[in-house]
A = this chain, B = another copy of it.
Amino acid sequence: MKIGLLGHGTIGAGVDRIIEEISCMEVKSVMSLEVDDSFRDRHVEDIDTIVNDPEIDTVVEVMGGVEPAFTFTSKALKAGKNLVTANKALVAAHYKDLIALSEEYGGAFRATASAGGSIPWLVNLERAKRVDQILNLSGIMNGTTNFILSKMKDEGADFDDVLKEAQCLGFAEANPAADIDGPDIRRKLNISANVAYDVLIAEDDIPTFGIRNVTAKDIENVSSLGLTLKLLGVSGKTDAGVYAYVEPTLLPGSDVIAHIPANYNLIRYEGKYAGVQSYMGEGAGRYPTAYNVVEDLFDILAGTKHFYSTEARETVPDNSIPVHRYYVRTGAESAALSGITEEQREGFVLTKPVSVQEMHGVIKDILTSDPAAFMAGIPE
């Protein structure tokens, strides 16, 4: 297997290094904005040099971002190359297009590292579906926000201080919005739900509430309820339809997910036969993520062609299906919130069971008058 590698940053350098030790694979060409001595002799300037190289059968894309990644990977698939990517932005935005190109031109398409980093999550979800029916899935899918929430709980620290520490340690980006506001999780949830239920969900159709507004006082309130706060992606499929949402969630200590430390991820599904199956590992990092990229390459060598289902149907999630109570902290007056309040506590309210759709609507409305408001779901 001769590989054209698009991107030689954190993940790309990891892929390059692991493949050095594997006799049946070779990184022949590398495209990268910055060039160092480790691959100067293999560096090419133009995607067409890779696409038109008949010796290269497989393209690995680890540049990140939707463009130019989509243009480049489309060209590769149209040239009949196999494609492996770890790029969740690309896969969430163009899942359908990439499957279609793989189908039409015959190259394989795999993206296990795009959700869960090192965790063989998508590949096991795909495997489980051969026998089982996936009833629901959920998890901690972002290490940065889990690091922040763990630190806030353990040290009673405030959000801004912990975020600054995470940025200093390299766990959080200078612009942390993709992590703390939830879009990173939304993409991984989107891809997971697509695979689990054979659907095509549009990113924007997944209601998403992040942890930008969480305060040390919220953490204290949550602890007084005997619960732990985690930011989860959640989805499921019932006879009524598919649901999917991202929200801060309050969990009892009896739930293992309340104990997942720092920058680990835990993702789980419930199968009709297998019951609850949980996968835990590092959700990011050079070698952990590169590891799953190379596993995809082995799967292609072993003859696995398509990345998951070619029969997925476009589906709009119905978040009137999941119903549970919420913790809400706001200084604003809200008639809608009063209408669903079950209990007023000192500084926060607990709602009656309401649908995710309704509550995400109510909080959106509250944020217009109180931009610092915070909410978290309380599963049954």
Interface residues of A (CB under 8 A from B): 14, 18, 22, 118-120, 124, 127-128, 130-132, 253-254, 256, 258-261, 268, 271-282, 285, 287-288, 290-292, 294-295, 298, 303
Contact = CB atoms under 8 A, between A and B. Distances in A.
A18 B271 CA distance: 13
A98 B196 CA distance: 35
Contacts of A279: 277-280
Contacts of A275: 118, 281-282, 285, 287-288
Contact of A295 (B131, B253, B294): B131
Given A120-B277, A130-B298, 7 more contacts: A131-B291, A131-B298, A256-B259, A274-B281, A274-B282, A279-B279, A279-B280
Contacts of A130: 295, 298
Contacts of A22: 131
Q: How many subunits of this chain does the assembly comprise? A: 2
A131 B294 contact: yes
Nearest to A261: B254
25 contacts: A14-B273, A118-B275, A118-B277, A120-B128, A120-B277, A130-B295, A131-B291, A131-B294, A131-B298, A256-B256, A256-B261, A258-B259, A259-B259, A268-B280, A273-B287, A273-B288, A273-B290, A274-B282, A274-B287, A275-B281, A275-B282, A275-B285, A275-B288, A278-B279, A279-B280
A58 to B, nearest CB: 15
Contacts of A282: 274-276
Main secondary structure of the interface of A (DSSP, over half): mixed
A18 B295 CA distance: 30
A278 B280 CA distance: 5
A278 B278 CA distance: 8
Contacts of A253: 259
